Amino acid sequence: MKDAVLIAEGLVKTYDQGRIRALDGVDVALDRGEFVSVIGPSGSGKSTLLHMLGALDRPDGGTVVLDGVDLASERRLDRVRARSIGFVFQLHNLIPTLTAAENVELPLVALRVPRAERRRRAAELLEAVELADRARHRPNQLSGGQRQRVAIARALANEPKLVLADEPTGDLDQAAGKRVLDLLSGLRDERGITLVLVTHDLSLAERADRRIRILDGRVVPDGSHAAGS
Ligand SMILES: Nc1ncnc2c1ncn2[C@@H]1O[C@H](COP(=O)(O)OP(=O)(O)OP(=O)(O)O)[C@@H](O)[C@H]1O
Ligand SMILES: [Mg+2]
């Protein structure tokens, strides 16, 4: 791998005192600027994998090396996330009491970016996701697709090298889902970010450079006519 941004080897994650083996020895390597989709049935471990890759949680076994840094040696995973990672959650997790713009600014508060700069970047990102005219709306005043676009803008606020999106199109109709994916893959092209997309929608998964198929916590060969879910 010439320019790997992330290398995960032998990832194991168990829940319920080891009774549930959500990840059972997963190897994943991502090149800089690569767009990879992750497919597999419900409960197969896709979100768990994304959480390990995105430094949201630590594996019970195996290693994750992000940009040459072994995450096991990082005591403060929150700092790694704040600096390098953008996460679009399966349920977009916007703060209901904050406006769209304030939600986008939030990751920059943790990075102590000055207020004027935060506002400038939030405005620019909302413009990029075509929501400049909704900046002062709160999540409950936005449509599902608009909320998802705010969540994407928020994930990009810290200028991450790695964007992990967990079913960002799950609750959208097909046209809105396609627009969200156009946006994400366009940002990959423009900004050179590495993009990992979990999706049940095979037509979206096929637009990636490569697909990773998960079954029962393991990566399995991705047959060309494999079912999506
Ligand atoms: N916090 C937790 N405690 C206990 N079990 C968990 C926890 N999180 C996930 N699991 C279990 O781990 C397995 C993998 O879950 P995961 O959320 O990674 O699946 P998924 O592939 O993302 O599914 P979906 O497509 O439904 O989102 C499932 O059996 C799930 O029940
Ligand atoms: Mg999931």
* CATH number (domain holding residue 180): 3.40.50.300
> Quick check: is 59 in a domain?
yes
Q: Which helix (H) or strand (E) holds 190?
A: helix 174-191
46 lines ligand 1 (CB under 6 A): yes
pLDDT tens-place string over residues 190-203: 888 999 999 988 88
Per-residue burial over 37-61, b = 16 or more CB atoms within 10 Å of its CB, e = otherwise: bbbbeeebbbbbbbbbbbbbeebee
Give the chain's domain count.
1
What confidence tens digit (pLDDT) does each residue in 110-126 have?
899 999 999 999 999 99
Question: Contact 109/78 with Cβ under 8 angstroms?
Answer: no
Res 213 pLDDT > 90: yes
Beta carbon of 199 within 6 Å of any ligand 1 atom:
no
What digits encode the pLDDT tens for the residues 134-178? 999 999 999 888 898 999 999 999 989 999 999 988 777 888 788
| 227 inside domain | no
Say how many Å lie between the first and final Cα of the chain, rounded: 29
Token code pair at residue 209: 């450079």
Residue 226 lies in a domain: no
**How many Å lie between the centroid of ligand 2 and the Cα of residue 121?**
30
Residue 82 domain-assigned (yes or no): yes
**Quick check: is 69 in a domain?**
yes
- What is the extent of the structural domain holding 49? 4-220
Residue 225 lies in a domain: no
The answer to whether the CB of 47 is under 6 A from ligand 1 is yes
The answer to whether position 229 is within a domain reads no
C-alpha 136 to ligand 2 mean position (Å): 30
Nearest protein Cα to ligand 1, atom 2: 15
pTM, two decimal places: 0.90
**Distance between CA atoms of 157 and 106, rounded to whole angstroms?**
8
Dump pLDDT digits (tens) for 32-54. 999 999 999 999 999 999 999 99
Is 203 inside any structural domain? yes
Task: Identify the residue whose C-alpha is closest to ligand 1 atom 16.
Answer: 45
Q: Give residue 224's pLDDT.
A: 46
CA dist., res. 139 & res. 96, Å (int): 6
